[in-house]
Amino acid sequence: MKFSWRVVVLWTLPALVIGFFLWQGAFASAPAEMTKNTASTRMTYGRFLEYLDANRVTSVDFYEGGRTAIVEAVDSELDNRVQRVRVDLPNSAPELISKLKDKGISFDAHPMRNDGAIWGLLGNLIFPILLITGLFFLFRRSSNLPGGPGQAMNFGKSKARFQMEAKTGVKFDDVAGIEEAKEELQEVVTFLKQPEKFTAVGARIPKGVLLVGPPGTGKTLLAKAIAGEAGVPFFSISGSEFVEMFVGVGASRVRDLFKKAKDNAPCIIFIDEIDAVGRQRGAGIGGGNDEREQTLNQLLTEMDGFEGNTGIIIIAATNRPDVLDAALLRPGRFDRQVTVDPPDIKGRLEILQVHSRNKKLDSSVSLEAIARRTPGFTGADLANLLNEGAILTARRRKEAITLAEIDDAVDRVVAGMEGTPLVDSKSKRLIAYHEIGHALVGTLLKDHDPVQKVTLIPRGQAQGLTWFTPNEEQGLITRSQLKARIAGALGGRAAEEIIFGAAEVTTGAGGDLQQVSGMARQMVTRFGMSDLGPLSLESQQGEVFLGRDWMSRSDYSEAIACRIDSQVRLIVEECHETAKRIMREHRTVTDRLVDLLIEKETIDGEEFRQIVAEYAEVPEKPQFAPQI
């Protein structure tokens, strides 16, 4: 029965309030007395004294602590019949007792009848009790809602947030392209399966393995595969789930987790995003985070607390090993670090093979070609890519995924959703010149990556796009390559300036300029590629790790800062000149390419080069053909 307590309680509360007053009234008006004693008539105190003096009173019974009395008196007017009457006594009548004594009248005191008092007490309590019960249910109910205020009521009980999978069903076969990591972890599987092998020769089985790598490279998958291969249960929790509003909750979760794991050993505990709890302690500005530190301490204690050979292996994953507390990394804890890198071309091919197992691919599709087109893609990107391809295929009502869908899917994964093409207008022309500028400068500079295609079909934020094929596998990049990239990125703006004049340039180059500044600055401050000499003046980019980096941010003086700025400007100006020169010198071919682009919306790299070759010498570029 789905039935809302909140509503019921809210409705009943006002009713209770009203009811309470009515009820109280009822109790109050019910005379708390002794009417049972048949004293229906009342006698005034004065009259009672008169009766007393006239010796007509035979007995007196005091009630209510002496405030009332039932008096038996003989009524001479009614044949001396004995009458029982009630008398209200004034508060202070001590002389009454001695008078009664003198006269030898029997009197007695009766204890207060407290039924009335009990009812009164209940009447007073019932409202608060109902109120509290109502509130209790209110909280109980709202605590069922995620994030409801009732969570505060539960903080004492650590609700275990970890999940246990008895069988992950993932095998090493499902993980591809990260061979080194797999090999390292193969050993862990053996630890879990045949610990005797190691303990026989006195080896201590490692307790913790830290998987380090960018998001989507398959860390979670790998951890599951270890559990799957070894056939042991898999406990997983995310680092962020340890950290709660109340100090001590995280620590109790850690205890719970290890307790459960010990009951199920051998098993694997997987802690995702361990940097959420495992950050360096005492690194926060203005005091640390107590809760996190306690949780981390508890984690360290638990890891020390079990002997290496209980068969529990802890696998943690992070993409920021640099922020981890040193205590986590010392031997005996996460003493093994396994790096999980984005896959190279061979790895990408293997991952594509894994994920295309359950997909219908047209025979025209070459997984090698896809692998070649997707440098920098992680396993998750590739899985997503094939899925997007399959979705597009279904939408186009095709039998199997063809090259066209894959190409569209790559574009979509890299640059976002396709928009509708612009109608012919001045701004479309300007965008065409801008893109041709990028492509032409890129094509004519010897050290630039070859153009893959130029398109005017908007995607994501971009109105037009020029795609380049990086012709090497994310390896080392030379100074002249960087300069060529800067010039290529400035090609768009240069074209706008040369064709439309400095007054007509647009905001469209904003993104390009940001890239340009970034590259030029890194050349100066990180790679030692300027007149400042081989100095590393800034550490790797990335958000500042509060407290550690913030204080020691600039490791150079104001004077050096000035020189950095002027060196950056020098590089950018030089590349800008190169780009403008190229655009100035190739006006004819530029115009022809722009007309073609507006007509066709997309020009393929090969065609582009052929047209340019009719007007200028196109430098030969090493074709990108890595061995697979």
Q: Which residues bind ligand ADP (CB under 6 A)?
A: 175-178, 213, 215-221, 317, 351, 354, 379-380, 383
Q: Does 463 bind Mg ion (CB under 5 A)?
A: no
Nearest-approach distance from CB 509 to Zn ion, in angstroms = 6
Nearer to Zn ion, 275 or 512 (CB): 512
Rounded to an integer, what distance in angstroms lies between the CA atom of residue 445 and that of residue 483?
A: 10
Q: Of 96-104, 396-404, 511-519, 602-610, which part binds Zn ion (CB under 5 A)?
A: 511-519
217 known ligand binder: yes
Separation between Cα atoms, residue 26 and residue 199, nearest integer Å: 81
Note whether 94 and 105 are within 8 A (CB).
no
Q: Least separation, in Å, of the C-beta of 279 and ligand ADP?
A: 19
**Is 512 flagged in the annotation as binding?**
yes
Distance of CA 330 to the CA centre of its chain: 28
User: Is 448 one of the annotated binding-site residues?
Assistant: no
Q: Does residue 437 bind Zn ion (CB under 5 A)?
A: no
Q: Minimum CB separation from Mg ion for residue 233, in Å?
A: 19
CB closer to ligand ADP, 223 vs 439: 223
Q: Is residue 496 within the footprint of Zn ion (CB under 5 A)?
A: no
Considering the complex, what minimum distance in angstroms separates the CB of residue 459 from Zn ion? 13
Does residue 318 interact with Mg ion by CB under 5 A? no
User: What is the rounded CA–CA span in Å between residue 161 and residue 159?
Assistant: 6
Question: How buried is residue 384: exposed, middle or buried, by Cβ count under 10 Å (0-12/13-18/19+)?
Answer: middle
In the list Mg ion, ligand ADP, Zn ion, none, the entry touching 450 (Cβ below 5 to 8 angstroms by class) is none
Which amino acid appears at position 593 of this protein? L
- Residue among 230, 279, 237, 277 at smallest CA distance from 257: 237
Binds 487: which of Zn ion, Mg ion, ligand ADP, none (CB < 5-8 Å by kind): none
Quick one: 350 or 447, whose CB is closer to ligand ADP? Answer: 350
Instruction: Choose from ligand ADP, Mg ion, Zn ion, none: what does 458 bind? Cβ within 5-8 Å by kind.
Output: none
The smaller minimum CB distance to ligand ADP, of residues 268 and 579, is found at 268
Least Cβ distance, residue 433 to Zn ion (angstroms): 11
For position 512 contacting Zn ion by CB under 5 A, the verdict is yes
Q: Name 312's bridge partners.
A: 267
Q: Which is nearer to Zn ion, 201 or 502 (CB)?
A: 502
Residue 218, binding choice from Zn ion, ligand ADP, Mg ion, none, Cβ under 5 to 8 Å by partner class: ligand ADP
How far is residue 172's CA from residue 224's CA, in Å, rounded to a whole number?
9
DSSP 299-349: HHHHHHHS-GGGSEEEEEEES-GGGB-HHHHSTTSS-EEEE-PPP-HHHHH
Measured between alpha carbons, how far apart are the two ends of the chain, in Å? 62
By CB under 5 A, residue 295 contacts Mg ion: no
Whose Cβ is closer to ligand ADP: residue 218's or residue 437's? Answer: 218
The span from the CA of 325 to the CA of 323, in Å, is 7
**Contacts of range 88-91, beta carbons closer than 8 Å, 24 or more positions apart:** 88/42, 88/45, 89/45, 89/62, 90/45, 91/67
Residue 573, classed as helix, strand or coil, is: helix
The answer to whether 264 contacts Mg ion (rule: CB under 5 A) is no
Supply the minimum distance, in Å, between the C-beta of residue 414 and Zn ion: 15
Task: Show Cβ contacts of residue 102 under 8 Å, excluding neighbours closer than 6 positions.
Answer: none
435 classed as catalytic:
yes
Residue whose C-alpha is closest to residue 182's, from 366, 382, 354 = 354
The tokens describing 275, both together, are 């940097």
Name the residue nearer to ligand ADP (CB basis): 217 or 298: 217
Min CB(502)–Zn ion separation in Å: 17
Residue 483 interacts with, from Zn ion, ligand ADP, Mg ion, none (CB under 5-8 Å by kind): none
Q: Are 293 and 281 in contact (CB under 8 A)?
A: yes
233 is in the binding site of which of Mg ion, Zn ion, ligand ADP, none (Cβ under 5 to 8 A by kind)? none
How many residues bind Mg ion (CB under 5 A)? The answer is 1
Q: Is 217 in the site for Mg ion (CB under 5 A)?
A: no
By the 8 A CB rule, do 73 and 85 touch?
yes
Measured in residues, the chain has a length of: 628
Q: Kindly give, in sequence order, each residue whose CB lies less than 8 Å from that of residue 568, ignoring residues fewer than 6 positions away.
A: 517, 520, 521, 523, 524, 530
Residue of closest CB approach to Zn ion:
492
Q: Which is nearer to Zn ion, 293 or 512 (CB)?
A: 512
**228 labelled binding-site residue:** no
220 known member of a binding site: yes
- Distance, CA of 556 to CA of 502 (rounded, Å): 36
- In b/e form, how buried is each residue of 355-378, taking b as 16+ CB within 10 angstroms? bbeeeebeeebebeebbbbbbebb
User: Per the annotation, does 214 bind a ligand?
Assistant: yes
Q: CB nearer to ligand ADP: give 270 or 608.
A: 270
Q: Is 378 in the site for Mg ion (CB under 5 A)?
A: no
- DSSP classification of residue 361: B
Which option in Mg ion, Zn ion, ligand ADP, none does residue 43 bind, with CB closer than 5 to 8 A by kind? Answer: none
Question: 398 among the known binding-site residues?
Answer: no
State the binding string over 220-249 for Mg ion (x if CB under 5 A, else -): x-----------------------------
Quote the CA–CA distance of 222 and 354 in Å, as a whole number: 14
Instruction: Please state the closest distance from residue 379 (CB atom) to ligand ADP, in A.
Output: 2
- Which entry of 273, 435, 496, 497 is annotated as an active-site residue? 435
Q: In angstroms, rounded to a whole number, what is the distance separating the alpha carbons of residues 592 and 587?
A: 9
Please report, in range form, the residues annotated as the binding site for ATP.
213-220
Residues that bind Mg ion (CB under 5 A): 220
Residues that bind Zn ion (CB under 5 A): 492, 512
Please report, in range form, the residues annotated as the binding site for Zn(2+).
434, 438, 512
Active site residues: 435
